[in-house]
A and B are shown apart, each in its own frame.
Chain A
Amino acid sequence: MHSARIDAASYHYADAGNNFRRHRIPLMARIEIKSEITGTVWKVHSKPGDKVESGDTLAVIESMKMEIPVITEDAGTVREILVKEKDAVAEGQVVAVLDG
């Protein structure tokens, strides 16, 4: 599960009337990678500074007797890993933060 807060102002254009105006394009987005599921951290696969691609597994959560990966949809650089092995995590909890 992912969500992002855009640090820089981003939007492409906007104006309530007729004028067309281009706004700033985001340079860097803060991307929060969340656990999809409540469970226990089984493995952590990445560390700050790692470059990751879309589809990479950052950690594995044990839940419902299965190994559930925490996957990033977006490419970027790991800024923080917020969990360690054996930690309990709740659904929606932020596991890692990327700069993307």
Chain B
Amino acid sequence: MPFETLIAEYEKRRAKALGMGGPEKLAKRKKAGVLNARERVERLFDRGTFLESGLFGASGVYPDEADETLTDGKIAGYGKIGGRDVAAVVNDFTVKGASTSATNSKKVAHMKRTATERGIPLVIIGESTGARLPDAMGSRGMGQLLGNDPTQFRRMRETPLATAVLGPSFGSSAWLACLADFAVMHKGATMAVSSPRLIEMALNEKVNFEELGGWRLHAETTGLVDQVVDKEEEVFEAIRRFLSYMPGHNQEAPPDASVPEGSGAEMAAVFGVLPESRTQVYDMKRIIRAVVDRDTFFELKPRFGKSAVTALARLGGKSVGVVANNPLHRGGALDADACRKITDFLVLCDSFNVPIVLLVDTPGFQIGTEAEKSGAPGKIMNFMNAMTLLTVPRLSVIIRKSYGRAYVCMGGGRHSDDVAAWPTAEVSFMSPDFATRIVHGVKPGDPAFQEKLAEIEQESDVWGLASVFAAQAVIKPEETRDYLIRMLEVYRLRMTRGVGQHLMRCWPTSY
């Protein structure tokens, strides 16, 4: 056979495979304003860097369906993001709803194995229906298709895993998003165990996609997604940005970046964010934004457990994870969701060698019947335990209140490498008002109340903490940024070139 014929055959097959589920389905997507899988590949990677693995894969169960299973519904390969290697799987919904099959399972496993063994991040762009039918039907189908790769859902956090939830994300798209270090969801997408259609058949429950697994549910109630975006293009920007704070693998430090001009410019006014009255609240994010390098604040789970803020950012060009209380919500009292969010974040940062900065203003853990019903003590202990297992540098700054067990969880005592406090810091076992009532048996209105309250308030000020060396420094608010940059340098992990011990690398990705 002349070589020309072989090349012609190759070109024909290649063009067909690149055509995904065919012109009709692609036209429908285009009309609906939804990107197709190959357009998503282009947006994910640096221009022209994609190298495909498995273009000619197709159903191995039904070879006569090769034309309907081009690339078998999952586009896999390697590319660069910000100049660094990344492996990816992008689901192609136009081919059998990107359902999980024998061949594409091998492709996904291959990407995961390569990423894990060679130390590069893995990205999964989800949109899928679940296991392919009828392939997985019956005991023979199940035995052939499912459960044959025991590493499929094993997370050891060797390398970062970032995922996107697009369109209907059932089956693998949902499972992998929930296992990921970062999950971004497009508004209008659905992530759920099963579809409304099956739910109606099985339970006679009528539910729509949005209520079952829409963005609000996952951003506000389950906390299973880290960010939500309005436009599909923003999904890829979010993943690229997340990875910019991460190392390629857990045996190296995160990459440095240049410090944007204007960083620190707002520090002179940062003290003004604090209200003069201790009963009033403020938005801690204003302080974080002023302290970190300009425009590097990248918040995770902003609508979940809002009395805490967890954000990746940079200080002096180096990646940091910021854990802060936000008095704007619940006065900064940490509820079960906030504890869960912080624990997730500590595990992420410690697993990928990102130092932690804690900014403290909390009246303590949320009390009350709702808190107890949500299992608060268990969530608090997960948080506490995580603080004891951190091996990356961590610094804490007490901005205002730090009370009770939350004082310890937020880095008090030896739970930080170094504790600094603003002159506004107040630290005690409980709020002065309640302490006065309990310790002295007096209540507001009683003759001795004001005098006893003043005594207790004075005992809670910053100087007591500094005098017993439980705060290593008392700093002026405007010095906070420079202080943190300098201290991160002091506490750098020199012996291991910035690499921690990753003692929580096997912790769950949600609780």
**A residues neighboring B (CB under 8 Å):** 1-6, 9-23, 25-26, 36-38, 63-69, 71, 73, 90-92
Task: For B333, list chain A residues within 8 Å (CB).
Answer: 37, 64
B118 within 8 A of A: no
Which A residue sits closest to B302, measured CB to CB?
A: A73
Looking at chain A's contact residues, the main secondary structure is loop
Q: Which of A2, A37, A67 has the most CB of B within 10 A?
A: A37
Q: How far is the CB of A95 from chain B (nearest CB, A)?
A: 14
Q: How far is the CB of A20 from chain B (nearest CB, A)?
A: 5
Given known pairs A63-B331, A68-B281, the reply for A4 and B129 (CB within 8 Å) is: no
Looking at chain B's contact residues, the main secondary structure is loop
Pair B280/A67 contact, Cβ less than 8 Å: yes
Pair A9/B129 contact, Cβ less than 8 Å: no
CA distance A37 to B368 in the complex (A): 9
Q: How far is the CB of B41 from chain A (nearest CB, A)?
A: 18
Which of B93, B328, B370 sits near A91, CB closer than 8 Å?
Answer: B370
**Which residues of chain B (24-76) have a CB below 8 Å from chain A?**
25, 28-29, 31-32, 34
Pair A20/B29 contact, Cβ less than 8 Å: yes
Given known pairs A20-B94, A64-B431, the reply for A36 and B329 (CB within 8 Å) is: yes
Task: For A92, list chain B residues within 8 Å (CB).
Answer: 370
Which B residue sits closest to A6, measured CB to CB?
A: B210
CA distance A16 to B195 in the complex (A): 8
B209 within 8 A of A: yes
Given known pairs A3-B221, A6-B211, the reply for A67 and B25 (CB within 8 Å) is: no
CA distance A11 to B34 in the complex (A): 13
Q: How far is the CB of A65 from chain B (nearest CB, A)?
A: 5
Which of B21, B168, B328, B370 sits near A13, CB closer than 8 Å?
Answer: B168
Give the A-B contact count at a CB cut-off of 8 A: 114
Between A and B, 12 residue pairs with Cβ closer than 8 Å are: A6-B208, A6-B214, A10-B210, A10-B214, A13-B188, A14-B167, A15-B97, A16-B195, A18-B94, A20-B34, A36-B329, A64-B431
CA distance A18 to B129 in the complex (A): 9
Pair B189/A12 contact, Cβ less than 8 Å: yes
Q: Which of B197, B208, B211 has the most CB of A within 10 A?
A: B208
Pair A11/B28 contact, Cβ less than 8 Å: no
**B residues neighboring A (CB under 8 Å):** 21, 25, 28-29, 31-32, 34, 93-97, 129, 167-168, 188-190, 195, 197, 208-211, 214, 216, 220-221, 279-281, 303, 306-307, 327-331, 333, 363, 366, 368, 370, 431, 433
Which B residue sits closest to A55, measured CB to CB?
A: B283
Which of B209, B303, B370 sits near A11, CB closer than 8 Å?
Answer: B209
Pair B93/A14 contact, Cβ less than 8 Å: no
Task: For B210, list chain A residues within 8 Å (CB).
Answer: 6, 10-11, 26
Task: For B330, list chain A residues within 8 Å (CB).
Answer: 36-37, 68
Given known pairs A2-B216, A69-B328, the reply for A13 and B281 (CB within 8 Å) is: no
Q: How far is the CB of A14 from chain B (nearest CB, A)?
A: 5
CA distance A92 to B34 in the complex (A): 36
Pair A10/B363 contact, Cβ less than 8 Å: no
Pair B93/A20 contact, Cβ less than 8 Å: yes
Pair A13/B34 contact, Cβ less than 8 Å: yes
Pair B208/A91 contact, Cβ less than 8 Å: no
Which B residue sits closest to A26, measured CB to CB?
A: B210
